[in-house]
Amino acid sequence: MKLKASLAVAALSVLLLAGCTSPADSGSASETIPASQAATPSPTPTPEAMSVEDAANYYLDTVCPANAASEAWNTATASGEFAAYKASAQPLVDAYSAAAARFDDPTVLWPAQVEAADITALSSSYYADISVLQGIANAATETEANFAFANRDAAAAASQKIRARLGITSDTSSSCSGR
């Protein structure tokens, strides 16, 4: 009886172990699974600089709207009316912000005829003007608007560049409200 029980336990153990092994482990034939055939990544294309013609069009598409908004600003300022130049400041902020962002775009590759330092200088100038113009657009009085001109420096340009790159409004008052 003891021998039958031992044989039964041994047989049960063999069956249980057989369920835990793979067919390859048990000596039966198995299919060979081919190695993964992951797609070979294509090489990243080397970016090419714009042609001179494309660069000229890109440049004009960037500066012309800013220049038009600037002309409107100049006309409003020449009127001597605070309300007029205050009202024309925000459209100029928007136009300069768009121009600065296009000139600051690292994916845009200019041809050799255009020096990177010139593009950086132009972008920085737009960013610096944005600080002044946003101050004028937010000014409640002409005195406050005149004070805004003190904000045109390298730090103001850097501040606006950082704001643009982080998706923060150029309006330093509204972006800090409640903080």
51-94 tens-digit pLDDT: 889 998 998 899 999 999 999 999 999 999 999 999 999 999 99
**Residue at 118 is within a domain:** yes
Report the pLDDT value the prediction gives residue 34, as an integer from 0 to 100.
56
Enter the tokens of residue 34: 């081919």
Domain extent, residue 149, equals 52-170
**Residue at 38 is within a domain:** no
Report the pLDDT value the prediction gives residue 174, as an integer from 0 to 100.
77
pLDDT at 102 over 70: yes
Report the pLDDT value the prediction gives residue 90, as an integer from 0 to 100.
96
Q: How many domains does the chain have?
A: 1
**Residue at 81 is within a domain:** yes
Average pLDDT over residues 22-40: 54
**Residue at 36 is within a domain:** no
**Residue at 4 is within a domain:** no
**Residue at 27 is within a domain:** no
Cα 14-20-24 angle, rounded to 5 deg: 100
Beta-strand ranges (E) seen in 64-160 are: none
Reported as a pLDDT band with limits 50, 70 and 90, residue 5 is: very low
**Residue at 46 is within a domain:** no
Give the least confident one: 93-97, 124-128, 154-158: 154-158
Reported as a pLDDT band with limits 50, 70 and 90, residue 170 is: confident
Give the whole-angstrom CA distance, residue 46 versus residue 151: 40
152-169 tens-digit pLDDT: 677 677 778 777 777 888
pLDDT at 18 over 50: no
Reported as a pLDDT band with limits 50, 70 and 90, residue 124 is: confident
* Helix or strand run (H / E) with residue 14: helix 2-18
**Residue at 79 is within a domain:** yes
**22, 80 contact by CB (below 8 A):** no
